[in-house]
């Protein structure tokens, strides 16, 4: 009787796990006529017309790594490097593991009028960013849920099994699975914060960076379209920006577009 009860409990837990996983992983694609038209023109390499429909989707606050990747490709093919870099960056922000977007971004950067040397990043920061970038924020969250549920199942085996070996295995497995699930949650929240609190922007117009937020101040250096900058402060219609080489200064906000 105990065996039957134990089996029923495990089946119940597994059923709940499947329902939860399906509810989180279900993401139906938007098969609207606008998306179909955009994809049709994109497949025909008619990038200008494809952009018309992609922009329509974007204006409706529709977003996905695939949409931004395709928009980046369209802008690249039509010679708009600044916009191509902008949308490749947006695609990567939603899905850091998007190898195609990263590859295309590097190609687009070779077309920039000027390049900026990046300051070296501490090895532990590179390791952490590399680790969390394996998957997107949503993927890490789903992974955490799956691992946590498996941890619960393992703990149920520990509680209800009559075999000592199974109890030991269930207890150890539950600790390991919950620990990895907790790490996945940390990765997911960190990536989500990077997206919601993104202070980066792309330069869209060649501009002189000033020493203070007004036109009469001294010129410090020039930035060109497609350059990625970090916004550290804002005042009226000006942004204080920081380049990857450490240079800082003020630029009119109309010359950059925030990611």
Alpha helices in the chain (DSSP H): 2-25, 33-43, 47-59, 65-77, 81-94, 99-109, 123-132, 137-160, 164-196
Question: Average pLDDT over the chain, rounded to whole?
Answer: 83
Work out the burial of residue 15: count CB atoms within 10 Å of its CB; fewer than 13 is exposed, 13-18 middle, 19 or more buried. Answer: exposed
CATH class for the region spanning 33-109: mainly alpha
The residues pairing with 222 across neighbouring beta strands, listed in sequence order, are 208
DSSP for 49-97, written as a single string: HHHHHHHHHHHTT---HHHHHHHHHHHHHTT-HHHHHHHHHHHHHH-TT
| Fold annotation for 200-258 | SH3 type barrels. (2.30.30)
The candidate with the shortest Cα–Cα distance to 136, out of 82, 62, 189, is 189
DSSP code, position 255: G
Give every residue of the chain whose pLDDT is below 70, as ranges: 1-31, 117-125, 195-197
Predicted TM-score (pTM) of the model is: 0.67
The residues pairing with 257 across neighbouring beta strands, listed in sequence order, are 202
Tell me what pLDDT residue 195 has: 66
106-121 confidence digits (pLDDT tens): 999 999 887 776 655 5
Tell me what pLDDT residue 27 has: 44
């Amino acid at each position: 009787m105990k065996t039957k009860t134990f089996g029923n409990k495990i089946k119940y837990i597994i059923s709940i796990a499947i329902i939860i996983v399906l509810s989180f992983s279900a993401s139906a694609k938007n098969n609207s006529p606008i998306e179909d038209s955009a994809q049709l023109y994109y497949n025909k390499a008619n990038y200008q017309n494809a952009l018309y429909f992609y922009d329509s989707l974007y204006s409706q606050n529709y977003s996905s790594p695939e949409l931004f990747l395709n928009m980046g490709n369209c802008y690249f093919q039509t010679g708009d490097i600044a916009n191509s870099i902008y949308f490749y960056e947006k695609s990567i922000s939603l899905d850091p593991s998007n190898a195609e977007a990263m590859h295309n971004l590097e190609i687009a950067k070779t077309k920039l009028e000027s390049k900026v040397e990046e300051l070296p990043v501490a090895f532990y920061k590179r390791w952490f960013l590399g680790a969390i970038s394996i998957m997107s924020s949503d993927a890490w969250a789903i992974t955490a849920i799956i691992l946590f549920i498996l941890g619960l199942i393992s703990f149920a085996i520990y509680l209800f099994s009559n075999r000592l070996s199974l109890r030991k295995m269930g207890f150890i497995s539950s600790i390991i699975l919950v620990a990895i699930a907790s790490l996945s949650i940390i990765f997911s929240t960190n990536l989500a914060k990077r997206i919601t609190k993104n202070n980066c922007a792309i330069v869209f117009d060649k501009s002189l960076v000033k020493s203070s937020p007004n036109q009469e101040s001294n010129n410090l250096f020039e930035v060109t379209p497609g350059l990625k900058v970090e916004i550290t402060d804002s005042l009226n219609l000006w942004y204080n920006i920081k380049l990857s080489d450490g240079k800082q200064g003020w630029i009119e906000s109309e010359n950059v577009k925030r990611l």
